[in-house]
Amino acid sequence: MTILPMCKAIAVGRTSAQTAFMQGVAHKCGFGLVEDTSHDIPSPDARIAFFLAHYQMGDDLLGKLVQQVRQAPGQTRFSPVILFSDDCSFEQVIKYVHLGFDDVLSLPDKKEMLIQRLNNQLLRQIMYVETADYFGPDRRRLEVDGYSHQRRLGLGGHARYYFRRLPDAGVQIEKHQIFPALHFEAPLRRVG
């Protein structure tokens, strides 16, 4: 069973053909409302809004889209931002995860699989991380040998948000944890 009919999809592409393609994907997946946007992030409304991006927009525009959504007011900043790509390499997926996408879906794929992956963004608890220059899904979630994200080594302050996206109620934040930056002093030296 899908609950996507209770959600809105916002199709994003560099060209009108890319945007129309993303609208078609959204309709096929069963979103209750499908819109497009050229540059402005729409204001939040009662529904959970998915931002569906076309991979051929280019890395700069994809990064700007994620940044705009994550800096938007209210619940919009917690919206799932999903990239639809052709069959790409694992290295490409890691790159998109580091940009801050909630998921990367490959086309062509079975409609049922796409719907299941989109539904995974709803109802279950999700964790986002906030640092001085990033807000979004924990980028370490796909770490494997050789692909560790360097930010893991830092001791800077950060926060974690645990929340659920509920189509009938919006984003429900369940826990917000703040971790201050760790400061170490040099050990005292013995004199004499």
Range of the domain at 45: 4-179
Element (H, E) at 134: strand 134-137
Element (H, E) at 19: helix 16-29
Does residue 186 belong to any structural domain of this protein?
no
Where the chain has pLDDT below 50, the residues are 39, 144-154
Does residue 187 belong to any structural domain of this protein?
no
Angstrom distance (rounded) from CA 103 to CA 140: 13
- The distance from CA 88 to its chain's CA centroid, rounded to whole angstroms, is 18
Does residue 123 belong to any structural domain of this protein?
yes
Does residue 185 belong to any structural domain of this protein?
no
Does residue 93 belong to any structural domain of this protein?
yes
Task: Tally the domains of the chain.
Answer: 1
CATH number at residue 132: 3.40.50.2300
